[in-house]
Each structure stands twice: as C-alpha cells, then as structure tokens.
C-alpha cells in the first residue's frame, strides 16, 4: 500500500517540503481511522499519505483546528449530502492523536457539538472578522490547521490570511479539496508568498476533480 499511495502524490510545487513518506503500518492506521469514523479523507479523496506524515511529526499535546465539520444539511453550500457524518474527521484526528486538543468550526450551527477532546464553534469563512473572532476565542497557537470548509478561493484565502499567523513555528496548514484546474494558481501563490509548501495532486479515476491538497509549513526553528 505504501508505494501505491506515495506514488499518487504528484508533487507540483517547485519549492518542495520533502515530506518523509510514512511506513505501511502508519498509512494503514490513518486510513482505518478515517474510514472507521466515516470521513472521506481516504475514500472520496486520498490524503492518507499527507496525514500519515504530518500527524506523527506534531509535538506532544498538539492543538488541531479544522474548518469545515461536514454538514449533511443540503441547504448549506458544500454540504456532504445526507450520507455525510458531521465531525467524522475530528474524531479520527482524536483517535490518531489522543493527546491532542481538537477544535472544529463550521457555518452550520445545527451540527456543532462538544465531546471529550473535541469542541466545535461557529465561523463564516467569507467574513474575515468572523475568522478573527474564532482565532481570539480559541486563543494560543495551533500545530495543524485544516481548511476543509467552503472550498472556494475567497474562503480559502480568507482562512489562510487570518489563521496562518496563528500556526506555531514549524506547524502545518492544509487546504483540502482544491479543484485541479486551480493548481497553477496555488503554485504561483506559494511562490509569490515565499511559503514552504507543496500542491499534492492525488486525483485518480475515483476522483479526477478535486482530490488536491495544498500543504504549507510555517517558518521557524522547529521546521526541518
């Protein structure tokens, strides 16, 4: 499985991060956690290798924030549909890093919840003041921030501009489900902003549209 997954990560960014490939056991563990919780991160899209590399690299007691809990109400943009499981990936991250404090945020108040190790909060990605208020409310720095929310360029940029400064030195910011046709924009964005990052294109016959993730590492002494 290891070679198959890593082989599908076609690195498109000219300033590579050189993510260390995860071993087969870690790949299996991450996929099992996502699939077991009903997350699509290893099924509809394929980010197994990304998170199998990032999650073990996080320090003890990491703080993880994911924007986009995954509403299944179809009156909301970017709904997963009635079969979706809100909070699935939050629970998978908690399973994979039991020492983590996991935060989630979404525009749909109906799916917010709280349970051991996880709290969720309201946010509107199209309103930077809302994102700033979320950052202030949660306080501190984050070791991993994931944008799996609205999946539009304005929302992505608002979220990055507001929350990337809250990522600790050497921490990670991941923008998921980028449409393949926008890969050149994101490559140019990374270069223009002088960011350490890569665009990972994991499109396949299963999903040849938006199984693409932008992975960015915050500068600082902890990065290697």
Give the CA distances from residue 183 to residues 22, 88, 109, 204, 214, in Å, rounded to whole numbers and listed in that order.
24, 27, 32, 15, 9
pLDDT band at 12 (very low <50, low <70, confident <90, very high): very low
131 and 106 Cβ atoms separated by less than 8 Å: no
Answer yes or no: 121 catalytic.
no
pLDDT tens for each residue of 20-71 = 889 999 999 999 999 999 999 999 899 999 999 999 999 999 999 999 998 8
CA torsion sign for 176, 179, 182, 187 is: positive
At 118, the pLDDT band (50, 70, 90 cuts) reads very high
What pLDDT score does 222 carry? 53
Set 151, 158, 177, 212: catalytic member: 151
- As a whole number of angstroms, the distance between CA 190 and CA 13 comes to 8
CB atoms within 10 A of CB 110: 11
Rounded mean pLDDT of the chain? 90
> pLDDT tens-digit profile of 142-186?
999 999 999 999 999 999 999 999 999 999 999 999 999 999 999
């Amino acid at each position: 499985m290891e070679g198959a997954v890593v082989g599908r990560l076609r690195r498109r960014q000219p300033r590579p991060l050189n993510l260390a490939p995860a071993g087969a056991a870690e790949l299996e563990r991450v996929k099992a956690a996502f699939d077991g919780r009903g997350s699509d991160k290893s099924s509809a899209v394929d980010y197994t290798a990304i998170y199998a590399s990032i999650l073990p690299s996080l320090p003890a007691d990491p703080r993880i924030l994911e924007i986009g809990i995954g509403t299944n109400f179809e009156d909301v943009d970017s709904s997963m549909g009635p079969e979706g499981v809100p909070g699935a990936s939050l629970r998978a991250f908690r399973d994979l890093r039991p020492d983590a404090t996991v935060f989630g945020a979404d525009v749909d108040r109906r799916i917010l919840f709280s349970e051991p190790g996880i709290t969720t909060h309201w946010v509107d990605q199209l309103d930077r003041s809302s994102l700033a208020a979320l950052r202030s409310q949660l306080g501190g720095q984050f070791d991993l921030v994931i944008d799996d929310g609205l999946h539009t360029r304005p929302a992505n940029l608002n979220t990055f501009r507001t929350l990337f400064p809250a990522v600790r030195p050497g921490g990670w910011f991941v923008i998921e489900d980028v449409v393949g046709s926008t890969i050149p924009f994101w490559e140019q964005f990374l270069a223009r902003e002088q960011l350490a990052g890569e665009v990972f294109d994991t499109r396949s016959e299963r999903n040849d549209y938006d199984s693409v993730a932008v992975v960015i590492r915050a500068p600082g002494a902890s990065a290697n």
